[in-house]
Amino acid sequence: MYHYNQEGLQVLHNYILDTNPSKIVVLTDNHTQKLCLPKILPYIPDNFVNINIPPGESYKQIDTLQSIWKQLIVNDADRSTLMLNLGGGVITDIGGFAASTFKRGIDFIHIPTTLLAMVDAAIGGKNGINFLEGKNQIGTINSPELIIINDDFLTTLPQRQIDSGIAEMLKHGLISGKEYWQKMLHYLAHKDTIFSQLIKNSVQIKNKIINEDPYEKGLRKVLNFGHTLGHAIESYLNYVKKSPITHGHAVSLGMILSVYISNKKGFLKFTTVTDINTSIKKHFPLIPFTDKDISHILKLLTFDKKNKNGIPQFILLKDIGSPILDQSVSKEIIIASFKAYNTLSDNGQQK
């Protein structure tokens, strides 16, 4: 299902020859249309239809979805149409959802073009859109026919978007074990490891988890580490403060907070808290949160899909590589963790 680099594009080409779809639709955004579409042209037939949407998280919503459905109809797409989702997580999420729902579902292939989509968004079959103030409120779980991961797309990706993917790779280390966590820290310090191998490692870690629990009944929830508060911070900064943050940057802050919460709930040693948070902070700038920010973020937590009877559920850590699921966390502990976060000094220790 996962195919890499040049060989991956050849697999795409052969798949199209073998399955002979009635039509090929390539979904892009303005950036991937210009920078990534030319790179796949040699591997797809000339008579494809390009549906293009504006870039960014704010377009992962119902109006854009409707415009994709409409363009599929206008272009006579039928049940044997194949959709190629060429872009970051916004394109793979909304494209996967559009394809899963159009005529009760057409085949689709993800060709992720951001690091975050390569190691995370394109893997695991989750797709969907944001709705009202909440992220990913509407969606399905439905897997693509193929996932083509070509790190050549990363050559045009801005550094802040690379960093966004790095946050999810660090998360893979924290939930899976010290070996990969250390490998990632080594890479960040020295940049002397082959990056495409780390991408493959991250894909394997996520893939192993989703194979064991595709519908998130248990184990898969570990992938949400850092995301409960990360999503609320992302929604708050993007939509309320209008001060955009990448998904990965928000998740990195969510991870720092979850590490504090893990300690305040008595699961994680403070020395490990310091080690983890120093390492994350080296790579991701902390954004200070005022009391007003914190209370708005707490309100946004009420939209979290993982809430049980209105109480936020967190993935916490007992140690690096030992996550614990379904932890209810009181408002008081969340606020105390924001206070600890706000007082992180330059070396990651509390002042």
Ligand X SMILES: NC(=O)c1ccc[n+]([C@@H]2O[C@H](COP(=O)([O-])OP(=O)(O)OC[C@H]3O[C@@H](n4cnc5c(N)ncnc54)[C@H](O)[C@@H]3O)[C@@H](O)[C@H]2O)c1
Give the binding site for ligand X (CB under 6 A): 29, 31-32, 35-36, 55-57, 60, 87-91, 93, 113-114, 116-117, 120-121, 124, 126-127, 135-136, 153, 156-157, 161, 164, 246-247
Helix (H) or strand (E) holding 206: helix 195-212
Q: Give helix then strand counts, H and E, for the chain.
A: 14, 10
Q: Which residue is nearest to ligand X (CB)?
A: 89
Residue 37 CA to residue 55 CA, distance in Å, equals 14
Closest to ligand X by CB, 135 or 221: 135
Which H, E and C letters describe 162-187, residue by residue?
Answer: HHHHHHHHHHHHHHHCHHHHHHHHHH
* CB 164, min distance to ligand X, A: 5
Closest to ligand X by CB, 35 or 286: 35
Residue 224 CA to residue 220 CA, distance in Å, equals 8
* CB 274, min distance to ligand X, A: 28
Residue 33 CA to residue 182 CA, distance in Å, equals 36
**Contact predicate 82/110, CB 8 Å:** no
Closest to ligand X by CB, 156 or 342: 156
* CB 160, min distance to ligand X, A: 9
* CB 214, min distance to ligand X, A: 12
Which DSSP symbol is given to 205? H
Closest to ligand X by CB, 171 or 264: 171
* CB 100, min distance to ligand X, A: 12
Closest to ligand X by CB, 34 or 241: 34
The residue among 216, 15, 19, 227 whose CA lies nearest residue 110 is 15
* CB 87, min distance to ligand X, A: 5
Burial of 123 per CB tally in 10 Å (0-12, 13-18, 19+) = buried
Residue 73 CA to residue 211 CA, distance in Å, equals 34
Closest to ligand X by CB, 21 or 230: 230
